[in-house]
Structure 1
Amino acid sequence: MLFKLAVDCIILAYDPLDNHLKVLLIQRENEPAKGHWALPGGFVDQSEDFAATAARKLRQETGVTVSYLEQVRAYALTDPTAGQRLASVSYYALLDLAHYAPATDRSHLAQWVPLVHLPTLPFDHGLKVQDAWQRLQEAARNQPVPFHLLPPKFPLNQLQRFYEALYQVPLDNRNFRKWVKGLPYIEPLEEVETNVSHRPSRLYHFKAAVYATFRQAAQLTPY
């Protein structure tokens, strides 16, 4: 029986313009599932590290380069074709949408697609996207996930919309603001939004050094 090993990349970003979490998909150029939207990825070379294969295939198929990919999980059997067994490993990364567009020569084949409007994906790619989304939801409970995806300066309503998009639930505005203002690592600036049609909101930013101290203190606090 022929045995192959593949990797797939789930690249996630947040679009503040339409308030959607998005995943980067490619339009497959070859069979099987030619013409279908799918995750970037491919087979692992015999001498290549899994993460290196993921980064290489992502770069080749989308023109997007990432410095770090985190493994989500391994999938034991993804191709039931008679005489062929295929295992795969999925990786995910968080990118700032404003700085990571598909390369010009690949833009007709690679697109950002909202998670809530995800098309039916071939193979087990739909499951892999859902697993990565769940991993992101879990990580955001105790890690500064939004600040990898938001602009360096942001109003609180944008931060709230991010969490609502991530968990797909509405949040009470007053309680959310009270919670955020109690976090020492989210600092208000003496700046407001510009070029907006509504009353400008105050801007905030994330202080990584304060967060690191905050996390260390939390880990040392006895329960």
Structure 2
Amino acid sequence: MKKHSYGKGEKIYVAIDCIIFGFDNGTLKLLLFQRRVDPFRGDWSLIGSFVRPNENSSDAAKRILKEITGLSNIYMKELRAYTDVDRDPGARCISIGQYALIRIDDHDEKLAEKHGAKWFPIDELPPLVLDHEIMVEDALKRLRAKAQFYPIGFELLPKKFTMPQLERLYAVIFQKDFDSRNFRKKLLSLGILEKLDEKDKTTSKKGAYLFRFNRSKYSSKEKKGFSIPIFKNREIL
């Protein structure tokens, strides 16, 4: 087959930047690393890489996540492309943002440390390079919109969790407190949570009952369409 060429067009790089969220000790966190190349060597950055010639953007994002966390088959969605001409002083570079949700307990901590990666509470982030702070804010907005229609606890909470842990997750994402009794009632009304005959007694002698998500029931509801009934004003991106 004859190969065709577009001539001597200028080189433009395509990068993937991953906004990796985790939830730990009641805090929403973001995985960052110190940049190892110029410009901005040593500054804090989202975890990313250039797209290789044999990859599409999704494959590149999966490779990056696997290299840094050791995880595959995790929740990851494309955010948007960042195309400002002067966004990167190193070269003309378009970046495609991908946001991911992982269970911190599941990732390979030593592998992340090997790459210089570190978890930061979302409200205690260091200054980030380039337009990465904009990417993080965009990802948070998308996460809040998604959380109104998708039980994000699937990806961020342990497989067994307490109702206070679930409520805390939503509280830190939306930066607001919920009425505990109302929150519990409405989440249970969805029919996607299973109460277990086990308790978490790490915070009190009485303990709190553990729950887990029922994926089959959620999948059934997802196909029909539903929303999580704890939000009055919906924000859809």
Shorter-normalised TM range: 0.7 to 0.9
Identity of aligned residues (%): 34
Q: How far has the Cα of 1:32 moved from its partner? A: 0.9
- In the other structure, the counterpart of 2:197 is 190
Alpha-carbon deviations, 1:14-73, whole Å to 9, x = none? 11x2x111111111122111111101112222332122222334444x353333532111
Which structure 2 residue ranges, 5 or more long, are not aligned?
1-9, 227-237
> Hey, what does 1:14 align to over in structure 2?
23
Distance 1:42 1:78, change over 3 A: farther
C-alpha change, 1:130 and 1:101, in structure 2 (3 Å) is farther
Pair 1:34–1:198, CA change in 2 (3 A): farther
- Equivalences, count: 216
Matched with 2:3 is none
Task: Note the 1:20-31 alignment, pairs <5 A.
Answer: 20-31=27-38
TM-aligned CA deviation for residue 80 of structure 1: 4.8
Q: CA deviation at 1:216?
A: 3.5
CA contact (8 A) 1:38 1:125 kept: yes
SS in 2 for 1:117: coil
In the TM superposition, 1:51-90 aligns within 5 A as 51-60=58-67, 62-68=68-74, 69-77=76-84, 79-80=86-87, 84-90=91-97
2:110 is aligned with what amino acid?
Answer: A
Residue 103 in structure 1 maps to residue 124 in structure 2? no
Gaps of 5+ in 1: none
| One-letter amino acid matched to 1:154 | F
Distance 1:74 1:152, change over 3 A: same
Give, in whole Å, the separation in 2 of the partners of 1:132 and 1:11.
9
Task: Note the 1:29-178 alignment, pairs <5 A.
Answer: 29-60=36-67, 62-68=68-74, 69-77=76-84, 79-80=86-87, 84-104=91-111, 106-107=113-114, 109-178=116-185
Say if 2:79 and 2:98, in contact at 8 Å, map to a contact too: yes
SS in 1 for 2:142: helix
TM-score of the superposed pair, with normalisation by structure 2 = 0.82
Letter in 2 for 1:129: V
Shift of 1:136: 1.2
Task: Using the TM superposition, name which of 130-139 and 77-86 deviates more.
Answer: 77-86
Contact 2:88 2:130 in 1 (8 A): no
Contact 1:77–1:88, Cα closer than 8 Å, also in 2: no
Q: Do 2:36 and 2:42's aligned partners in 1 also have CA atoms closer than 8 Å?
A: yes
TM-score (norm 1): 0.86
Q: Residues 80 and 174 (structure 1 numbering): CA distance in 2 closer, same or farther, change over 3 Å? A: closer
Tell me the distance in 1 between the aligned counterparts of 2:107 and 2:190: 29
**Secondary structure at 1:192 match in 2:** strand
Tell me the secondary structure at the aligned position of residue 126 of structure 2. Answer: coil
